[in-house]
């Protein structure tokens, strides 16, 4: 439920209501708007009546949260959330690009990629160490060795690292080496894993399942937040449709819907949706244009030799070109891209989108 405080309610009145709800076992979040303060509360709604919160000083009214997902909804928290990854803000004005290989394959490969994507303006490094492969005979990742190489790449470049965790028993070891725990599309509804990362002290990147609805995706996010972890980033990576021309169908509409329904930051993964490097640029630009807070892109120094997802990986040169285009687009949308990506003359993209506020929506707009 949402407790709407009266206009001009005092801090003391807000505190008393929040304390009463917390003592009764509700999870709470306070949103201080220009005119009113809202207190989002999640718990057993039968309790609300017995608490008679509506009768408390400074309370205007109590309204139920209508969506099945509670803490991740904009009803609960109208203002957008910003998740900080070692100081890099995801979900703010800056558009954040995460780049790196599908899998960590060797020291040379991950270090060369990390240096190049950093120089091009990427803010975080990606790389899989535990790989959820469709075939048991495909390369399964370097596992612990891969985690160590990612940590080494972070030491050298300063880029925080994002890597997938595929099993609840691996959450501790992955969290010890990585900065963001990625939940892959194939595990979006692995509730034991969601609960486990919900107890971790690292931000989580939750990919949408390839056959999941937006509501199921947000319910999966709710598991993580309900377990205690509010540092959560959503990622649209394409869904299964009848169309085989791309590997998956990038569901841009879902990005618009999810950012309307939820305060969580949302990224787009153009690589897994495209399945082929040729379409990655167009989908990346479309992702930014629809309002994503950033992108996660597969990049490999020699895609033709990659042990996984080579066909959809950009080589270093193509990634550099894409970053210059994205920088112009971000600027046209009133946002920024990492400082290193500022390319001279990139302002030409200003014609792409004019008029209206295309940046992150404030409160429940968008």
Q: Which of residues 237-266 bind ligand PEP (CB under 6 A)?
A: 237
Q: Which does 121 bind (CB under 5 to 8 A by kind): ligand PEP, Mn ion, none?
A: none
Distances (CA, A) of 137 to 131, 219, 313, 333, 334: 12, 33, 21, 44, 46
The answer to whether residue 102 forms part of the interface with Mn ion (CB under 5 A) is yes
DSSP letter string, 70-86: -TTBTTT--SPP-EEET
Q: Which does 207 bind (CB under 5 to 8 A by kind): ligand PEP, Mn ion, none?
A: ligand PEP
Q: Which does 184 bind (CB under 5 to 8 A by kind): Mn ion, ligand PEP, none?
A: ligand PEP
Q: Is 175 helix (H, G, I), strand (E, B) or coil?
A: helix
Site string for Mn ion, 240-259 (x = CB under 5 A): --------------------
The answer to whether residue 75 forms part of the interface with Mn ion (CB under 5 A) is no
Minimum distance from residue 291 beta carbon to ligand PEP (Å)? 20
Letter string b/e over residues 305-322, b meaning 16 or more CB atoms within 10 A of that residue's CB: ebbbbbebbbebebbbeb
Instruction: Choose the binding region for Mn ion from 70-78, 97-105, 110-118, 342-350 (rule: CB under 5 A).
Output: 97-105
Minimum distance from residue 143 beta carbon to ligand PEP (Å)? 15
Among 28, 147, 150, 185, binds ligand PEP (CB under 6 A): 185
Distance CA 65, CA 26 (A): 13
The answer to whether residue 184 forms part of the interface with ligand PEP (CB under 6 A) is yes
Instruction: Choose the binding region for ligand PEP from 43-51, 184-192, 317-325, 338-346 (rule: CB under 6 A).
Output: 184-192
The answer to whether residue 141 forms part of the interface with ligand PEP (CB under 6 A) is no
Q: Are 82 and 92 in contact (CB under 8 A)?
A: yes
Which residues lie below 8 Å from residue 345, measured CB to CB, with a gap of 6+? none
Closest CA to 208 of 175, 253, 174, 173: 253
Among 91, 92, 100, 128, binds ligand PEP (CB under 6 A): 128
**Pairing outcome for strands 232-236 and 83-85:** unpaired
* Closest residue to bound ligand PEP by CB: 184
The answer to whether residue 309 forms part of the interface with Mn ion (CB under 5 A) is yes
Q: Which helix (H) or strand (E) holds 13?
A: helix 11-23
Length of the chain: 366
Distance CA 325, CA 122 (A): 13
Instruction: Choose the binding region for ligand PEP from 117-125, 178-186, 254-262, 356-364 (rule: CB under 6 A).
Output: 178-186
Among 72, 99, 102, 341, binds ligand PEP (CB under 6 A): 102
Rounded to 5 degrees, what are φ and ψ at 294? 170, -175
Q: Are 97 and 338 in contact (CB under 8 A)?
A: yes
Binding residues for Mn ion (CB under 5 A):
102, 309
Binding residues for ligand PEP (CB under 6 A):
102, 128, 132, 184-186, 207, 237, 269, 272
């Amino acid at each position: 439920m949402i407790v709407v405080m009266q206009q001009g309610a005092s801090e003391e009145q807000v505190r008393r209501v929040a304390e009463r709800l917390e003592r009764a076992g509700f999870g709470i979040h306070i949103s201080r708007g220009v005119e009113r303060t809202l207190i989002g509360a999640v718990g057993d709604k039968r309790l609300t009546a017995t608490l008679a919160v509506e009768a408390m000083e400074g309370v205007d009214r109590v309204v139920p949260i209508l969506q099945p997902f509670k803490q991740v909804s904009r009803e609960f928290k109208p203002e957008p959330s910003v998740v900080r990854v070692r100081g890099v803000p995801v979900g703010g004005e800056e558009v954040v690009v995460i780049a790196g290989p599908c899998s960590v394959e060797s020291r040379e490969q991950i270090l060369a990629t990390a240096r190049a994507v950093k120089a091009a303006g990427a803010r975080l490094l990606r790389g899989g160490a535990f790989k959820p492969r469709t075939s048991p005979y495909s390369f399964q990742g370097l596992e612990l060795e891969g985690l160590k190489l990612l940590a080494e790449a972070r030491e050298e470049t300063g880029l925080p690292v994002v890597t997938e965790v595929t099993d609840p028993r691996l959450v501790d070891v992955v969290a010890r080496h990585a900065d963001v725990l990625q939940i892959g599309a194939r595990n979006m509804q692995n509730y034991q894993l969601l609960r486990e990362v919900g107890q971790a002290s690292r931000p989580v990147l939750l990919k949408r399942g390839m056959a999941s609805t937006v509501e199921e995706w947000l319910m999966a996010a709710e598991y993580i937040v309900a377990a205690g972890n509010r540092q959560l980033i959503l990622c649209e990576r394409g869904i299964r449709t009848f169309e085989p021309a791309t590997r998956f169908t990038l569901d841009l509409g879902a990005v618009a819907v999810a950012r309307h329904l939820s305060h969580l930051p949302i990224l787009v993964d153009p690589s897994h949706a495209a399945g082929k490097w040729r379409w990655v640029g167009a989908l990346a630009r479309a992702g930014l244009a629809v309002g994503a807070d950033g992108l996660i892109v597969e990049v490999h120094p020699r895609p033709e030799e990659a042990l996984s997802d080579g066909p959809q990986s950009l080589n270093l040169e193509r990634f550099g070109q894409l970053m210059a285009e994205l920088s112009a687009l971000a600027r046209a949308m009133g946002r920024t891209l990492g400082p290193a990506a500022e390319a001279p003359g990139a302002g030409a993209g200003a014609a792409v989108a004019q008029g209206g506020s295309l940046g992150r929506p404030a409160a429940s707009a968008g």
